[in-house]
Structures are given as structure tokens and as C-alpha cells.
Amino acid sequence: MKYNFYRLFINSFVFLFAGSSLIFAQDLDTEKKEKGVIEYQLRAGINIGGFTPIPIPAEIRELSSFNPMLNISLEGSIIYLFKQTPSSWGIRTGVKLENKGMKANSMVKNYRMEIIGGEGERVAGNWTGGVSTHIANSYITIPTLAIFKVNDCWSFSGGAFWSFLMDKNFSGYVFDGYLREGDPTGVKVIFEDDKTASYDFSNDLRKFSYGLQLGTTWQFSKHLNVFGDFSFGLNNMFKSDFKTITFTMRPVYLNLGAGYSF
């Protein structure tokens, strides 16, 4: 009887100790998963898109050619996930060096324009004919995004971006048309055959821009991922006192690329 009692006591003690250890380990594991985690990423991508008025104004009658150019982006970002579970919310920010540019030819009518004459003089008026535009800008961009991690593979992001203009170019030329100096009833200056006149609005570009960004990321291995981010500018690329182009032009770009997670 005494032996059986001691064996029952020892077995009960071992059972309680093992059960308590298991519960304690589960509590530690739950507590660990409830804590946040920080991730670091390096990203490289290509910006595909352009600067455009929305909606397209009546002055622009036809887009005859478009070249998105090779616009590279490099980004270092930091992600804070609120939990270490496969599904979690978080935030992401970082610093991105990126190019946004394009080349486009269009046919326009009564398009406000300021051309540079042969003597360097500037002549403003309403242009009807062809316009060739070349934009090549470089920015430092800071995204501020909310993250939703669906599982170990997929995550989605949304928020705002803030861009600071570093290098700038908005230039081009007009061709095969005529300029009405001053207003639509002004003196008619004809450009035909191979005659062109250049323009340059680079110094009229705004230094700071902002907008919205939405994206998704597919983490296909422990360290490697691919992503797509769509960004839409909310303010005009030109300064508020610039009156030559009368409509608002915004950057609209899709950034596609790959990243490395540390």
C-alpha cells in the first residue's frame, strides 16, 4: 500500500510538472509571437509610366508616340510588424532614389506654349501642331505605408509618398504647326518642313511632390521577393506661379522589381 502510494505520488508529480512546463512553454511561445519584429529590405526596380494630366484636356488631340524610358529605383526600407504570426499588420518606411521620365510626341490645338526664338528670346502664345516632350527627373522619395501581411508569402501595402526633386529636365520642341502670339487671335508664326522651336520648363518644376502608393509583395523564399507598387501624384509637377501650361500634370507610375530581406 505504501509503495503504491509513493508511486502514485511520484507519477502525479511528474504529470503536473510536465503539464506545467508545457503550459509555460506555450505561454512563452505566445508571448514571443505577440511581440513585434523588425525587418530590413533592399529593393531595386523599374518605374514604368509618365507625367500626365487627368483627365486629358481638349487641347491634346492625339498621342502619336510614347517612350517610357529606363527609369531605375533603389530603395532601403525598414518594416515593423506588430506580431510575429504569419498574419500581421505593420508599417513600412525608407529612402528611395528613383528616376521618373518619358519621351512623348503629341498633336495639339490651341496649346499654351512658350518657345525659345533664334536669338534666345521667348515667345508665348497658343500652339497648334506637333509637340515633342522629354522629361528626365531624379527624386529622393520617402514612402510611409501601412502593411498587411496575409501569410508567409503575400503582403499588401498602402499609404503616401513624399518626393524631393534632385535633378530636373522638362524640355522639348514644337514642329509642323503654327503659333498664335499672345492669344488665339494673335500674329501667326508658321513652322513647317524641318523647322522647329525649342522650349524648356525645367526651372518651373516644383521641388516637392506627394501622392498615394499601393502595392503588393510576394516573398518566394526566406530572403528574396518580388513586388509591384503603383503611385499616383496628388500635386502639380509645376510651381503654382507657372501659367504657361494651364492644366495640372501628375506622375503616374508602376514600380516593378525585386528585393532582399535581411
Residues 18 and 69 in one domain: no
DSSP 30-60: HHHHHS-EEEEEEEEEEEEEEEE-SSPPTTE
CATH code of 68's domain: 2.40.160.20
How far apart, in whole angstroms, are the C-alpha atoms of residue 171 and residue 201?
A: 6
Can you give the pLDDT at residue 34? 64
Can you give the pLDDT at residue 69? 95
Phi, psi dihedral angles at 19 (to 5 degrees) = -65, -40
Residues 24 and 49 in one domain: no
Q: 254 and 48 in contact (C-beta within 8 Å)?
A: yes
Residues 55 and 27 in one domain: no
How many folded domains does the chain comprise? 2
Print pLDDT tens along the chain (262 aa): 444 534 543 454 344 344 444 444 444 455 555 688 999 999 999 999 999 999 999 999 999 999 999 999 999 999 999 998 889 999 999 999 999 999 999 999 999 999 987 677 888 999 999 999 999 999 999 999 999 999 999 999 999 999 999 999 999 999 999 999 988 888 898 988 889 999 999 999 999 999 999 999 999 999 999 999 999 999 999 999 998 998 999 999 999 999 999 9
Q: Which residue has the cell 525645367?
A: 202
How far apart, in whole angstroms, are the C-alpha atoms of residue 175 and residue 25?
A: 76
Q: In terms of residue numbers, what domain contains 12?
A: 1-34
Residues 21 and 75 in one domain: no
With H, G, I as helix, E, B as strand and everything else as coil, classify residue 11: helix
Residues 16 and 130 in one domain: no
Q: What letter represents residue 244's amino acid?
A: T
Residues 61 and 27 in one domain: no
Residues 114 and 76 in one domain: yes
pTM for the model: 0.84
Query: What is the grid cell recorded at 84?
Result: 510575429
Return all residues near 250 (Cβ < 8 A) that are at least 6 apart: 51, 52, 53, 54, 211, 232, 233, 234, 235, 236, 237
Give alpha helix (H) positions in the chain. Answer: 2-34
Residues 27 and 145 in one domain: no
Can you give the pLDDT at residue 11? 53
Residues 119 and 228 in one domain: yes
Residues 138 and 161 in one domain: yes
Cis, peptide link before residue 55, omega less than 30° from 0: yes
Query: What is the grid cell recorded at 161?
Result: 509618398
Terminal-residue alpha carbon distance, the chain:
62
Q: Cα separations (Å) of 51 from 161, 213, 215? A: 16, 16, 20
* Nearest residue to 155 (alpha-carbon basis) of 102, 229, 51: 229
